[in-house]
Amino acid sequence: MSEENIINRMAVICQQIHRYNHQYYVLDEPSVPDAEYDRLMRELTTLETEYPQLKLLDSPSQKVGGVALKSFSQVVHQLPMLSLDNVFSAQEWQAFVKRLIDRLNKSQAKATVDFAICAEPKLDGLAVSLRYENGVFVQAATRGDGTVGENITENVRTIKSIPLRLQGTSFPDVLEVRGEVFMPKASFDALNQQAIKKGEKGFANPRNAAAGSLRQLDSKITAKRNLAFYAYGLGFVGVSEDGNGVGENWLATSHYQRLCQIKALGLPMCPEVKLLENATQVEDFYQHILQQRAALSYEIDGTVFKVDDIALQQQLGFVARAPRWATAYKFPAQEELTILEAVDFQVGRTGAITPVARLKPIFVGGVTVSNATLHNQDEIDRLGIQINDTVIIRRAGDVIPQIVSVVVERRPENAEVISFPKVCPVCESAVMKAEGEAVLRCTGGLYCQAQRKEAIKHFASRKALDVDGLGDKLVEQLVDEGLIKTPADLFKLTSLDVSTMARMGQKSADNLIKGLESAKSTTLAKFVYALGIREVGETTAANLAQYFRTFAAIKAANDEQLQQVPDVGVIVAKNIVNFFAQAHNLEVVEELEAIMSWPDIEVKSDDELPLKDQTFVLTGTLSKMGRNEAKAALQALGAKVSGSVSAKTHYLVAGEKAGSKLVKAQDLGVSVLTEDEMIALLNS
């Protein structure tokens, strides 16, 4: 057989297999039996083994797994891969629609609730971008940070539902298809069953399984995981008049129709995607998908709604790294029944005694939950909960395990009333509850080993003195071995003390001593924050330093003087006065004063504080400056940086994955800045 004949035969077989894959995985309408498919695949692999130099780039044989990768390179997205903001109720959805209408009316686009909506299930998988050049699959990348992702091309080649060559002959020169890679429920169950048989740990949920499979360094492993893909949109599209006969007008003006175009090219589209006539139909779609959730072959955690008209999308634009024209309408957190087996009491840095529920382990919301906070006595009374009760556990916001209620009719005879300790469970000091508070606290202060550890961890933490080489575990070890009892004891440590401890070498010991020496030079604001005075956070510490300018003045201030400081109210002032009234606290503070130093605070003129009296709130991930750096830069110019949005907020700086604070700011009409806009403001 001549080389030309071999190439032609390979091309014919590839074309047939691509068509069969499309019929089987996309249309669910196989036209040939498996035996015929297998025969063609065997013929193709035989030819490719004999003539490897003639293998086609888009050969379907590559879906069985390629050569193991040593590492993942980075891919810069030609168009950013955006994330979505969320709504969690019908009221929040209606507020979202109102914002759309208001913005469209301001931009002189005629808008009513009648604009069409593209509705989709929100797949619980991993977002990827597929790049096709002249119809051939050439690259796949994860979302990453939205700008740069991981190159997972070889692994994505193994996903049977993703074609290596587009269907037909009319397509853009460059087409980036965005979508979700996921693991069907059946595949996930089978994968975990195999892991159990091998004595290995299974995956917590299908999303983790999909993500872990895509990031395998050996694509042969990925090929065995039976991943799937659904397209949900387009990224970069490049067209030229002399390309494949596709010009500027190839793209549909409807988001839904663009999905149909993608499907026509051979890429799968979720069968539950639906075009709604207007926003009033959203709730029905949401409820329908919610009811169908358990019956679907894949995991979802909500629905996604997008303005269908592309022109309206462009007019609405984006907020930070999320589109204004789309949102995820999340489902309520999943709930399960389990048993409250015991209650432990933990002591925090400020002496707060928190009851922690020990639960019979239960799989809920994608993870196995065995603990949940009960907050305080008031919450226990509200729930009417007892040990050995059957309880409903929920992962509130899909993050924090929460006990919702008690199934009283299942209460057993051996149920026990939950009793708070009369003394601290760690140091046996007296406990007390301040007037107007629900929290019980240990009065042992730094004498309490639990508070001692937490106080020292806080003192050395990144936002306080940032002691290099002093992690939480080392603090616990130092306290347990009796080498330190207070923050001041840290500076008495020697390299010999540390190097003789278990798992500590000479180099680590030397590095810690250097870190402690460096930490002796700080700022007054950081020093005040590091002391761990209850309810004195970074902002309050900075305000105290700026107002009083010396530590001696802060120590000597009374309630009335302290309340003159911005953000310091009656309770915070009382906490500060009480802290310095304790003899054991003063003893430690005086030791620290003799060891540490900080520069004098210069009084700045109003000209040097252009952002004075302006309140900023930071939310989301700031990729260029980081939250701490941005906060310091704003405060240096006189701004107040708050942790919550209110009507008095002047600006909200929204980074990546900005959530409820962004929604609240928009509802209140607060000005929203991107990170770049904030940097420009600082520079100006």
C-alpha 56/C-alpha 52 separation (Å) is: 9
C-alpha 64/C-alpha 472 separation (Å) is: 46
C-alpha 679/C-alpha 626 separation (Å) is: 11
Q: How many helices (H) and strands (E) does the chain have?
A: 24, 26
Are the C-beta atoms of 237 and 295 separated by less than 8 Å? Answer: no
Average pLDDT (350-358) is 91
Pairing of strands 651-654, 615-619: parallel
Q: Which residues of 340-352 are buried (b: 16+ CB within 10 A; e: fewer)?
A: beebebebebbbb
- Does residue 28 carry a pLDDT above 60? no
Residue 458's closest CA among 542, 575, 537?
537
Calculate the average pLDDT of the chain. 86
- Does residue 177 carry a pLDDT above 60? yes
- Does residue 471 carry a pLDDT above 50? yes
Pairing of strands 117-123, 416-417: unpaired
Residue 303's closest CA among 331, 324, 270?
331
Residue ranges and CATH numbers for the domains of the chain are 3-64 (1.10.287.610), 91-330 (3.30.470.30), 335-417 (2.40.50.140), 445-519 (1.10.150.20), 524-595 (1.10.150.20), 606-683 (3.40.50.10190)
Q: Which residues of 94-117 are buried (b: 16+ CB within 10 A; e: fewer)?
A: bbbbebbeebbeeeebebeeebbb
CB atoms closer than 10 angstroms to residue 502: 6
Residue 447 CB-density burial (10 A; 0-12 exposed, 13-18 middle, 19+ buried):
middle
Q: Is the dihedral of CA 58, 59, 61, 67 positive or negative?
A: negative
CB atoms closer than 10 angstroms to residue 275: 16
Average pLDDT (356-375) is 87
What is the per-residue pLDDT for 441? 87
| Residue 382 dihedral angles phi and psi, to the nearest 5° | -65, -40
Average pLDDT (455-471) is 91
- Does residue 69 carry a pLDDT above 70? no
Lowest-confidence pick of 52-61, 414-423, 540-549:
52-61
Q: What angle do CA 680, 682, 684 make, to 5 degrees?
A: 70
- Does residue 678 carry a pLDDT above 90? yes
Average pLDDT (575-582) is 86
The residues, any chain, with a CB within 8 Å of residue 140's CB and separated by 6 or more, are 128, 129, 130, 131, 151, 152, 153, 155, 156, 157
Are the C-beta atoms of 648 and 623 separated by less than 8 Å? Answer: no
C-alpha 130/C-alpha 231 separation (Å) is: 10
| Cα dist from 450 to 357, 498, 682, whole Å | 19, 21, 42
Are the C-beta atoms of 670 and 662 separated by less than 8 Å? Answer: no
- Helix residue ranges per DSSP H, 70-116: 90-106
Q: What is the pLDDT of residues 246-272, one digit of tens each?
A: 666 788 999 999 999 999 999 999 999
Of the residues 55, 98, 110, 122, only one is catalytic, namely 122
Strands in 418-486 per DSSP E: 431-432, 440-442
C-alpha 623/C-alpha 655 separation (Å) is: 8
Most confident of 237-241, 433-437, 513-517, 626-630: 513-517
Please indicate whether residue 319 or residue 90 has the higher confidence score (pLDDT): 90
- Does residue 472 carry a pLDDT above 50? yes
Confidence of residue 65 (pLDDT cuts 50, 70, 90): very low
- Helix residue ranges per DSSP H, 109-204: 153-156, 185-197
- Does residue 568 carry a pLDDT above 50? yes
Is 122 designated active site?
A: yes
DSSP label of 495: H
Residue 488's closest CA among 527, 523, 525, 526?
527
Q: What is the pLDDT of residues 85-140, one digit of tens each?
A: 888 889 989 999 999 988 888 765 555 557 899 999 999 888 999 999 999 999 99
- Helix residue ranges per DSSP H, 22-113: 34-50, 90-106
Are the C-beta atoms of 459 and 532 separated by less than 8 Å? Answer: yes
C-alpha 449/C-alpha 460 separation (Å) is: 17
Average pLDDT (461-481) is 91
Residue 143's closest CA among 74, 228, 226?
74
What is the per-residue pLDDT for 107? 66
Are the C-beta atoms of 640 and 73 separated by less than 8 Å? Answer: no
What is the per-residue pLDDT for 68? 46
Both tokens of 170, joined, read 């009319």
Q: What is the pLDDT of residues 188-230, one digit of tens each?
A: 988 888 887 887 777 767 887 888 888 787 788 888 888 999 9
Please indicate whether residue 395 or residue 159 has the higher confidence score (pLDDT): 159
Residue 186's closest CA among 21, 331, 269, 299?
299
> Is the pTM for the entire model greater than 0.75?
no
Placement of tokens 């729930």 in the chain = 383
**CA-based end-to-end distance of the chain:** 73
DSSP conformation letters of 542-564: HHHHHHH-SHHHHHH--HHHHTT
